Amino acid sequence: MISIDSKKLTEFAIIAGTIVSTYYLMTMPSPDAIGANFDKKAQAKSDHNVKRILQDNPGLAKNLQSLNTYEKKILADVFIPNEKSTRFNDIAGIDDILEDIYENVIIPLQEYGTDKKHLNHDLQERFGHIVENGLLEAPKGVLLYGPPGTGKSLTAKAVATECNAAFINISISTLLSSYYGESSKLVKALFTVAERLKPCVIFIDEIDSLFKTRSNTDHEVTSKMKSEFLSLIDGLETDGGILMMGATNRRTDIDEAFLRRMPKQYKIGLPDKEAREKILSLYIQNIPLEKGLSIELIAEYTSGFSGSDLKEICRNAVNNMIKEYRRLPSSQKHDVRPLTAQDFGLNNLPDFLD
* Residue 2 falls inside a structural domain: no
Tell which of 267, 291, 320 closes a domain: 267
Domain of 318, CATH number, reads: 1.10.8.60
What are 233-290's pLDDT values in tens digits?
888 765 568 999 999 999 999 999 999 999 999 999 999 999 999 999 999 989 999 9
Q: Does residue 282 share a domain with residue 139? A: no
- Sequence-distant (6+) residues with CB within 8 A of 96 are none
pTM, entire model:
0.79
How far is the CA of 109 from the CAs of 142, 162, 207, 350, in angstroms? 13, 10, 23, 49
Q: Does residue 164 share a domain with residue 92? A: yes
* Residue 4 falls inside a structural domain: no
* Residue 6 falls inside a structural domain: no
Angle between helices 182-197 and 220-234 (to 10 degrees): 20
Domain count, the chain: 2
Buried b (16+ CB within 10 A) or exposed e, 163-187: bebbbbbbeeebbebebeebbbbbb
Contact of 88 with 100, CB cutoff 8 Å: no
pLDDT at 249: 94
* Residue 49 falls inside a structural domain: yes
Q: Does residue 298 share a domain with residue 226? A: no
* Residue 7 falls inside a structural domain: no
Domain of 215, CATH number, reads: 3.40.50.300
pLDDT at 209: 86
Tell which of 250, 267, 284 closes a domain: 267
* Residue 293 falls inside a structural domain: yes
From its phi and psi, is residue 337 left (phi > 0), alpha (psi between -120 and 50) or beta?
beta
Give dist(CA 329, CA 68) in Å, integer. Answer: 59
For residue 246, report the phi and psi dihedrals to the nearest 5 degrees: -140, 160
Q: Is 261 exposed, middle or buried (0-12, 13-18, 19+ CB in 10 A)?
A: buried
Contact of 49 with 136, CB cutoff 8 Å: no
Q: Does residue 199 share a domain with residue 311? A: no
Q: Does residue 136 share a domain with residue 199? A: yes
Q: In the chain, which residues have pLDDT < 50?
A: 25, 27-37, 114-115, 117
Give dist(CA 346, CA 322) in Å, integer. Answer: 18
Contact of 61 with 196, CB cutoff 8 Å: no
Tell which of 227, 244, 267 closes a domain: 267
Question: Which domain, by its residues, includes 288?
Answer: 273-353
What are 19-33's pLDDT values in tens digits?
655 555 454 444 444
Bridge partners (DSSP) of residue 129 are none
Q: Does residue 202 share a domain with residue 171? A: yes
Give dist(CA 214, CA 83) in Å, integer. Answer: 41
